[in-house]
Amino acid sequence: MSDELLITVAGVGAEVMREQQPNLPLLPDEVGEEYRRAYDAGATIGHIHGRLPDGKPTQDRETFRAYSAAIRQRCPILQQFSTGGAVGMTVEERIAAVDLKPDMATLTLGTCNFGDDVFENSLPTIRAILSRLQQHGITPELEIFDDGMLATADVLFAKGLLKPPAHFDFVLGVPGAAAATAENLNHFARSIPTGCTWTVAGIGRRQTAMATMAIAMGGHVRVGFEDNIYYRKGELADSNARFVERAVRIAREVGREPASIAQARAILRLPAAA
């Protein structure tokens, strides 16, 4: 376990709309400012989805290029592109921007229900995304929404397609996938190979409880509008940074400091910055 805490800000997502969360950033400068505020508050990884100005989700390369530049202009937060995109997107759409060579990109290790929809990640889809990431030398973050996805990780490790240690993100609380419970978090954290690191993304009102458990267990934390729009019951968060600030306060109470960018690179086994 590292004492330093990785905090990922997932500030945009593909599902939440302005009608639900008026502070959702959509334009590049809005995204840049929002991620800069989150970085100033202690976040070291920015998980990025694309949106058109009207809020429609997109994985278009030019949108990612503009977001990436707007963030980079303002702060050195590590950039992690989503390859999950939004449900229903084709694999080619989902990976269209990875040739921009972000610091990391997500790789979901299985199909699951996603509310009324299905988030499709068959083995051929996983292999196609992984191969594109490897072609560009991009470190994947392995997204685990359900127990079976841990078994898929084992298969990929056994076949040598992935090499431990890897970094996992346990996304707990999506309707139709694994619930955000202490039992599931403990089970997931114990199921990954020795030396691997992990983050938890608790969905909805379980975000803070899951983050608190992860902080105590030696894991890492993801917060932001993609997963949760309320600061507390009935109160919309006025920015993603509020969630980061709260994670930092909780971490400091148990003796953990937010990681610096250099520490985050070391924890994630990313190459040192050029």
Q: Which residues bind ligand KMH (CB under 6 A)?
A: 14, 82-84, 86-87, 106, 108, 114, 119, 143
Q: From the list Zn ion, ligand KMH, none, which binds 174 (C-beta under 5 to 8 Å, kind-based)?
A: none
Task: Quote the least distance from Cβ 253 to Zn ion, whole Å.
Answer: 28
Q: In the set 68, 82, 125, 228, which binds Zn ion (CB under 5 A)?
A: 82
Task: Quote the least distance from Cβ 12 to ligand KMH, whole Å.
Answer: 10
Cβ closer to Zn ion: 63 or 256? 63
Q: Which residues of 59-94 are buried (b: 16+ CB within 10 A; e: fewer)?
A: beeebbebbbebbeebbebbbbbbbbbbeebebeeb
Please identify, among the stretches 79-87, 93-101, 108-116, 235-243, the one whose residues bind Zn ion according to the rule CB under 5 A.
79-87
Task: Quote the least distance from Cβ 3 to ligand KMH, whole Å.
Answer: 27
80 near Zn ion, judged by CB under 5 A: no
Cβ closer to Zn ion: 130 or 256? 130
Q: Terminus-to-terminus CA distance in the chain, angstroms? A: 26
Cβ closer to ligand KMH: 106 or 184? 106
Q: From the list ligand KMH, Zn ion, none, which binds 108 (C-beta under 5 to 8 Å, kind-based)?
A: ligand KMH
Task: Quote the least distance from Cβ 104 to ligand KMH, whole Å.
Answer: 11
Which residue's CB comes closest to ligand KMH? 84
Cβ closer to ligand KMH: 39 or 119? 119
Question: 137 to 166, contacts with Zn ion by CB under 5 A?
Answer: none
Angle among Cα 15, 20, 21 to the nearest 5 degrees reads 90
Task: Quote the least distance from Cβ 94 to ligand KMH, whole Å.
Answer: 8
DSSP string, the chain: --SSBPEEEE-S-SS--TTT-TT---SHHHHHHHHHHHHHHT--EEEE-EE-TTS-EE--HHHHHHHHHHHHHH--PEEEE-SS-STT--HHHHTTTGGG--SEEEEE-S-EEETTEEE---HHHHHHHHHHHHHTTPEEEEEE-SHHHHHHHHHHHHTTSS-SS-EEEEEE--TTS----HHHHHHHHHHSPTT-EEEEEE-GGGHHHHHHHHHHHT-EEEESTTT--EEETTEE-S-HHHHHHHHHHHHHHTT--BPPHHHHHHHTTPPPP-
Task: Quote the least distance from Cβ 13 to Zn ion, whole Å.
Answer: 6
Please identify, among the stretches 74-82, 92-100, 194-202, 263-271, the one whose residues bind Zn ion according to the rule CB under 5 A.
74-82
Which residue's CB comes closest to Zn ion? 82
Task: Quote the least distance from Cβ 119 to ligand KMH, whole Å.
Answer: 5
Return residues touching Zn ion (CB under 5 A): 82
